[in-house]
Every structure is written in C-alpha cells, then in structure tokens.
C-alpha cells in the first residue's frame, strides 16, 4: 500500500473514532488487501493525527492475548495499541454517550521501574523490572459494526481502545502471583465471565515480552512508569446504559464502574 493510501486509512478511522460513527471493517469493502504491516503503519498515522489534535499517548497496551478473546473475536494473534490520556476514566461513572457500543474486559496492568527494550527479552527480564501491578478494566469500543473485524482492521482501529479504568492499590511483585490471580466480572450482580492470569499468554508478564518484541522493530522500548494493560483475561462483555459492572480480583483492587 502506498503512503498516501495508509494516510487515507488513518484519516478514515480517525473520523469514525472522533465522531463515534460505526463503519464496516476495512477489508470488507474499502481496503480488501490491507495487511497487518499496512495496518500498523496506519495505526502510527492515527496516533499522529491524535497528537496533532493535542492528545497524548498515556501507555501502550496489549490486546488479544487470551484464548477467550481469540475465540470470541475469531482471530489468532496478540496485537498492540495505545491508550491516550483522556481515555483514562477517573471517576468510575462512565457516560454511554462517549462510546458507540462499549464492552468491558478485566485486565492485569503492569508498571515497569525501568524502560525495557529488545526482541529477545525473557519473562525474567520483565519480572526483574516490575515496579508494581494494578487491576484494570478496559472499555473497548470497536468502530466496526457489531465488533466485526479481522486483525488488519482492528489494528488500524487502535485495537478498539476507548477507555481504561485502573484499580487503586499498587501491589508489589512479592504480593501477587499474576498467574493464579483470579477475576470475576459481574453486571448488575450477575456473574458474566471469570478467569485467571494464566489466560494471558500463560503469564501476564509474557505479554510485556511480546510488547517489547513489537516495539523493538521500531527501535523503541517498553516505557517505565505507566500502567500497561496486558490483555483481557476473559471474553469482553457488552454493557448498556444503567449497568453497574463489578470486577472482583483475588488480590488486586476490585473495580466498580457505573454506565449512565
């Protein structure tokens, strides 16, 4: 794909994002030959468009790191996207009008104490560099009709990034075993999904290894000091106005979000 076409893809998705307008997946009609390589280039252009409009990247994020998500979305690879500053929801009362058709997914977020970089890092390299661990709930909002996408489309759509909520308590790596950490997500008191940390590539820290490998292609490091979502532990759950979402972790802070 030419640079001009890549920019066109980015502008098209950007307009859908800022106008909360549903579009068909890119490969369906407009860009049938879009590859994953093209779509990461388009994602880069999309980030530029946000930055030009005054927004700032808060942290990179990992997505599609669990079998539960692969099965739900009919895909077979992890992906990388970016959370922007204004996506971080502080008050835990979320307006439906800021979203098209939001879904929630429980996540484990990792904050590093040092930047780490490389395509050959091990899980130990990540564990040695963790500052603390937080609970998270990602509010994803695909711009594609009915969340119907493929890998190139979802990558160009910044991995459905739209909102993020983080738990209050910072746990030291000695205080939590990320693999055995469990989570239950309830909507209006009813259990919808449950999982544990092994769902995320066997270990959530493995997700950071994957991210490092991805960023190393552009000679970039995984940044320290920001919570990095390692990917949904369970399938994502669609929410409606009036819903209260309670996410209960075994050790990490619980998170409650009300959608109004």
Q: Which of 110, 130, 139, 140 binds ligand OOG (CB under 6 A)?
A: 140
Q: Total residues at the site for Mg ion (CB under 5 A)?
A: 3
Least spacing, CB of residue 199 vs ligand OOG, in Å: 10
Beta-carbon contacts of 113 under 8 Å, excluding residues fewer than 6 positions away, are 129, 130, 131, 224, 225
Show the tokens assigned to 245: 């979402």
Question: For residues 208 and 112, is the Cβ–Cβ distance under 8 A?
Answer: yes
Site track 42-81 with Mg ion (rule: CB under 5 A), x = hit = ---------------------x------------------
Query: CA dist 90 to 36, 51, 135, 238, 256, Å?
Result: 33, 21, 14, 21, 12
The answer to whether 154 contacts ligand OOG (rule: CB under 6 A) is yes
CB of 63 to Mg ion, least distance (A): 5
From residue 108 to residue 147, the character string flagging contacts with Mg ion as x (rule: CB under 5 A) and all else as - is: ------------------------------x---------
- List, in order, residues 6 or more apart from 64 with CB less than 8 Å away: 70, 73, 75, 77, 78, 79, 154, 159, 231
Cα–Cα dist 183/245, whole Å: 13
Residue 160 contact partner, candidates ligand OOG, Mg ion, none, CB within 5 to 8 A by sort of partner: ligand OOG
Q: Which residue has the tokens 């549903």?
A: 22
For residue 254, how far is the Cα from the chain centroid? 19
Answer yes or no whether residue 165 interacts with ligand OOG by CB under 6 A: no
From candidates 129, 142, 153, 234, binder to ligand OOG by CB under 6 A: 142
Residues 28-57 that bind ligand OOG (CB under 6 A): none
Residue ranges binding ligand OOG (CB under 6 A)? 63-64, 69, 73, 105, 138, 140, 142, 147, 154, 159-160, 231-232, 236
């Amino acid at each position: 794909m030419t640079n001009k076409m890549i920019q066109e893809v980015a502008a098209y998705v950007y307009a859908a994002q800022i106008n909360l307008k549903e579009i068909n997946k890119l490969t369906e009609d407009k860009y049938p030959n879009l590859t994953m390589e093209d779509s990461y280039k388009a994602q880069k252009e999309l980030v530029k468009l946000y930055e030009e409009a005054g927004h700032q990247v808060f942290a990179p994020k990992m997505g599609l790191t669990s079998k539960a998500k692969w099965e739900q979305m009919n895909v077979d690879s992890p992906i990388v996207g970016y959370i922007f500053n204004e996506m971080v929801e502080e008050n835990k009362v979320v307006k439906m009008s800021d979203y098209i058709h939001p879904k929630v997914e429980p996540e484990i977020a990792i904050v590093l104490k040092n930047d780490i970089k490389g395509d050959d890092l091990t899980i130990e390299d990540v564990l040695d560099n963790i500052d603390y661990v937080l609970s998270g709930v990602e509010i994803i909002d695909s711009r594609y009709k009915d969340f119907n996408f493929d890998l190139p489309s979802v990558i160009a759509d910044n991995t459905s990034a739209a909102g993020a909520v983080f738990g209050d308590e910072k746990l030291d790596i000695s205080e939590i075993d990320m693999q055995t950490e469990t989570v239950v997500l309830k909507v209006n008191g009813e259990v919808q999904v449950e999982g544990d940390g092994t769902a995320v590539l066997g270990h959530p820290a493995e997700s950071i290894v994957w991210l490092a490998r991805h960023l190393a292609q552009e000679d970039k490091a995984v940044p320290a000091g920001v919570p990095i979502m390692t990917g949904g532990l369970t399938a994502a759950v669609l929410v409606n106005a009036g819903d209260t979402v309670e996410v209960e972790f075994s050790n990490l802070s619980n998170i409650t979000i009300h959608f109004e």
